[in-house]
Amino acid sequence: MTRGAVRSIDIVVEGAAWKTLSPAARGRLKKAALRALAREKVKGHFTLLLTGDARVKQMNALFRGKNKPTNVLSFPAEENADRYLGDVAVAYGVVRREAKEAGKAFADHLVHLAVHGVLHLLGHDHMKPREAARMEGLEREILAEFGISDPYAPIPAKSRRKPAKRHV
């Protein structure tokens, strides 16, 4: 049996900030990402890179022509005999900032973005309304299994960050 006949994930951690992620949070992250594969009945393995904003900014500029960090990037692999599906990279600072602004738990937002990234590896997209509805529906279903609320629900007004005061 080759490694590709099962579902597996390699988590690569870059940077001290990610070292604070608890073993329980890391385990939940791994289970949710693998659940996305199982939900789509895909067997194979992939790498989840937990890195910083600067590294994601470099990748975003190089591969997407956008010179800024983003929360998650997915790099699907070409079809291969080993069933290697590709790589997902997550930027710590962006995830932390987005979670805080939305009033979400960091670990919940991280799990959402990992699932989102894995679904991109599997060919899902959100560029067209029908595609977005399908992908977001899958995300909601998978996240609900882990007790995470709908990430696309409107943010309650009290959770939103107040805009910074402008100094003239």
Q: What would you report as the CA-atom Rg of the chain, rounded to the nearest whole angstrom?
A: 16
pLDDT reported for residue 5: 59
Percent of the chain with pLDDT over 70: 89
What is d(CA 61, CA 44) in angstroms, rounded to the nearest whole number? 28
- Which architecture does CATH list for 3-148? 3-Layer(aba) Sandwich (3.40)
Average pLDDT for 136-153: 94
Q: What is the pTM of this model?
A: 0.87
Q: State how far the Cα of 125 lies from the Cα of 89, in Å rounded to an integer.
A: 17
Q: What is the b/e burial string over 68-105, where b = at least 16 CB atoms within 10 angstroms of the residue's CB?
A: ebbbbbbbeeeeeeebbbbbbbbbbbbbbbbbeebebe
pLDDT digits 0-9 by tens, 59-73: 999 999 999 999 999
Q: Using CB atoms within 10 A of its CB, is residue 157 exposed (0-12), middle (13-18) or buried (19+)?
A: exposed
pLDDT of residue 6: 82
Domains of the chain, residue spans? 3-148
State pLDDT tens for residues 113-134: 999 999 999 999 998 999 999 9
DSSP element (H, E) containing 73: strand 72-76
Please state, rounded to an integer, the average pLDDT across all residues of the chain. Answer: 89
The one-letter amino acid at 116: H
Report DSSP letters for 10-55, one per residue. EEEE-SGGGGGS-HHHHHHHHHHHHHHHHHTT--EEEEEEEE-HHH
Report DSSP state, residue 68. S
Instruction: Report pLDDT for 167.
Output: 40
- pLDDT at res. 1: 36
6/75: higher pLDDT: 75
Closest CA relative to residue 89, chosen from 63, 114, 111? 114
